[in-house]
Structure 1
Amino acid sequence: MNLHVLLVEDDYDLAASLVEYLELENITCDHAANGLHGLELTQQNQYDVLLLDVMMPKMDGLSLCDTLRKDGVDTPVLMLTARDTLDDKIAGFSVGTDDYLIKPFALKELLIRVRALAKRRSSQSRKYTVANLELDTEALIARRDGKALVLTPTEWKLLLELTRHSPQVVTREQLMRAVWGDDTPESNTLKVHMHKLRQKVDKPFKTPLITTLPRHGFVLRNDDEKNS
Structure 2
Amino acid sequence: MRLLVIEDHPDILANIADYLTAAGHVVDCAHNGPGGLHLALTGSYDLIVLDIMLPGMDGFQLCRSLRASGKRTPIIMLTARDTLDDRLQGLREGADDYLVKPFALAELAARIDAVLRRSEGFQSRLQVDDLLLDLATWQVTRAGQPLKLNPACLKLLELLMRKSPGVVRREEMEFALWGDQPPPSDSLRSHLHLLRQAVDRPFAHSLLHTVHGMGYRLAAEHAQ
Give the TM-score, by structure 2 length: 0.54
Query: What are the ranges of 5 or more consecutive residues in structure 2 without an aligned counterpart?
Result: 26-31, 49-61, 68-87, 97-115
Check 1:178–1:102 CA distance in 2 against 1; reply closer, same or farther (3 A cut).
same
| 2:110 is aligned with 1:148 | no
Q: Distance in 2 between matches of 1:155 and 1:200?
A: 9
**Contact conserved, 2:207 with 2:218, CA < 8 A, in 1?**
yes
Aligned residue in 1 for 2:218: 220
Check 1:111–1:55 CA distance in 2 against 1; reply closer, same or farther (3 A cut).
closer
Aligned residue in 1 for 2:41: 90
Q: Distance in 2 between matches of 1:85 and 1:194?
A: 39
Q: Distance in 1 between matches of 2:198 and 2:157?
A: 11
Check 1:85–1:209 CA distance in 2 against 1; reply closer, same or farther (3 A cut).
closer
**Contact conserved, 1:65 with 1:95, CA < 8 A, in 2?**
no
Aligned residue in 2 for 1:170: 168
Q: Distance in 2 between matches of 1:94 and 1:64?
A: 19
Check 1:88–1:172 CA distance in 2 against 1; reply closer, same or farther (3 A cut).
closer
Secondary structure in 2 matching 1:199:
helix
Note the C-alpha offset of 1:127. 2.6
Q: Distance in 1 between matches of 2:5 and 2:223?
A: 35
Secondary structure in 2 matching 1:176:
helix
Deviations 1:142-176 (A, max 9, x none): 22112332211100111112112211222222211
| 2:151 is aligned with 1:200 | no
Secondary structure in 1 matching 2:166:
coil
Deviations 1:82-123 (A, max 9, x none): 7599844434x423249x94259897x949996xx987633x
* Matching residue's letter, 2:120: R
**Contact conserved, 2:63 with 2:93, CA < 8 A, in 1?**
no
User: Identity, % of aligned pairs?
Assistant: 29
Secondary structure in 1 matching 2:210:
strand
Deviations 1:6-55 (A, max 9, x none): xxxxxxxxxxxxxxxxxxxxxxxxxxxxxxxxxxxxxxxxxxxxxx9945
Note the C-alpha offset of 1:138. 3.4
Note the C-alpha offset of 1:137. 2.6
Aligned residue in 2 for 1:131: 129
Secondary structure in 2 matching 1:102:
helix
Figure out how many residues of one structure are paired with residues of the other and give that number.
168
Q: Distance in 1 between matches of 2:139 and 2:147?
A: 8
* Matching residue's letter, 1:102: R
Aligned residue in 2 for 1:160: 158
Aligned residue in 2 for 1:23: none
- What is the RMSD computed on CA atoms of the aligned residues? 4.5
Note the C-alpha offset of 1:221. 0.8
Q: Counterparts of 1:25-174 in structure 2 under 5 Å?
A: 54-55=6-7, 57=9, 59=12, 71=23, 87-91=38-42, 93-97=43-47, 101-102=63-64, 110=92, 121-122=120-121, 125-174=123-172
Query: What are the ranges of 5 or more consecutive residues in structure 1 without an aligned counterpart?
Result: 1-51, 74-80
